[in-house]
Amino acid sequence: MSRLDRYLLAQLMALFGFFALVLVAVYWLNQAVMMFNQLIADGQSARVVLELTSLALPAVIALLLPLSAFAASIVVLNQMIGESELVVMQATGASPWRLARPALMFGLIVALMLAMLVHVLVPMARAATHDRRAEIAENVAARFVTEGRFQHPTPGVTFFIREISPRGELMDIYLADSRGANATVFLASKAVIVRGDTGPKLLMFEGRAQTLRASDGRLSVTRFADFAYDLGALIEGGAARTPGIRERTTRQLLQGSTEGLGAPGEVSLELARRAAEPLRAPVAAMLGFAALLLGGFSRLGIWRQIVFALVLLLVLQMLVNAADAAAQRTPGLWPLIWLPLAGGTLVVVAMLGWARRSRRAPGPKTERRAAVAGGAP
């Protein structure tokens, strides 16, 4: 690696770290605030909120790394043009292809980071998030058991507790269930929550059940010494569930069985997504770098090249989203995911070729025309 490559690569990596830190922090804080409001309203502690927001970080980082690479390449080349460094490099004979080499190396380094995220860390974080949310959902006391308030854990169910004793016993229970054809109201002097095979259960003592039959409008009252009410049906995600495609690492998808993971083409689609996503980083970085090499010196700056680079990035993202949506509707069309990246690569090659043509040295005919125009005898 030459000194020029090391210099440009150091500049790109420094600004990439800055932009990645700022963008990830802003985006993550925005998501953390929304998650914080939801979890705190459900009675969760700050430790649970911090744990779940931390598990969301790998997906956030994977989403923003290509954008950070693009911003770093734009800013670095803009600074080099503003400080005439690019002019000096070009005067020494460095072609656009030569200048783009450290940018390509930079993009490949970011692609390696993305590959580690999308193939390993993001699926593991999603699986851990699902497991943690399932544990939180089973913690009914933290979910909707709040003393002195009428709770509605699901439509058709109303739950009220007068007091929770220091031993965790629920005192003076009111539970109304009108989801079926017959509405039932349970009244009990005491209850506890126990874990069962199918989920948590509410074990009520010394109470009665009042059932209103919809067929004849008659009310029947049944007294009981103890009665178990299944709370598992009130908890979203309480039942055991096999980890989905996006919650398995790439190694698990390649080595494990694909039965129960949806249509046959969905696994191939997910693998194609994970293989293509890291390549977005070098394509984005090279789009920004190559776009700023177009055009010559202007007193107005290079804002037109910057706008052009932003438009190219926007079009690339729109094509990626369109290809992903088409492949999502028809998993057998998963090769479409590679087309936007291939198109972006061709655009980069075309821009670098155009930049080289516009800056190539004048030939003998051009020199004679310049001499005649200058008044040669």
Q: What pLDDT shows up at residue 144?
A: 60
Distance separating alpha carbons of residues 103 and 282, to the nearest angstrom? 8
Q: What pLDDT shows up at residue 92?
A: 80
3-state secondary structure the chain: CCHHHHHHHHHHHHHHHHHHHHHHHHHHHHHHHHHHHHHHHCCCCHHHHHHHHHHCHHHHHHHHHHHHHHHHHHHHHHHHHHCCHHHHHHHCCCCHHHHHHHHHHHHHHHHHHHHHHHHHHHHHHHHHHHHHHHHHHHCHHHHCCCECCEECCCCCEEEEEEEECCCCCEEEEEEEECCCCCEEEEEEEEEEEEEECCEEEEEEEEEEEEEECCCCCCEEEEEEEEEEEECHHHCCCCCCCCCCHHHCCHHHHHHCCCCCCCCHHHHHHHHHHHHHHHHHHHHHHHHHHHHHCCCCCCCCCCHHHHHHHHHHHHHHHHHHHHHHHHHHHCHHHHHHHHHHHHHHHHHHHHHHHHHHHHCCCCCHHHHHHHHHHCCCC
The residue extents of the domains of the chain are: 143-234
Distance separating alpha carbons of residues 225 and 167, to the nearest angstrom? 20
Distance of CA 329 to the CA centre of its chain: 20
301's tokens: 């700056």
Distance separating alpha carbons of residues 206 and 189, to the nearest angstrom? 6
β-bridge partners, 221: 210
CA angle 218, 219, 224 (to 5 degrees): 145
Q: Phi and psi dihedrals of 238, rounded to 5?
A: -70, -30
Q: Which of 301, 254, 236, 29 is nearest to 123 (CA)?
A: 254
Q: Which of 191, 181, 115, 116 is nearest to 159 (CA)?
A: 191
Is there a contact between 243 and 217 (Cβ–Cβ < 8 Å)?
no
Is there a contact between 219 and 211 (Cβ–Cβ < 8 Å)?
yes
Tell me the average confidence (pLDDT) per consecutive run of 10 residues in the chain, 377 residues long.
Answer: 86 93 88 71 68 87 93 91 81 83 93 94 90 69 69 82 84 87 89 73 89 84 88 56 78 72 74 92 93 68 85 93 89 87 93 78 45 41
Q: What pLDDT shows up at residue 295?
A: 63
Is there a contact between 202 and 177 (Cβ–Cβ < 8 Å)?
no
Q: What pLDDT shows up at residue 81?
A: 83
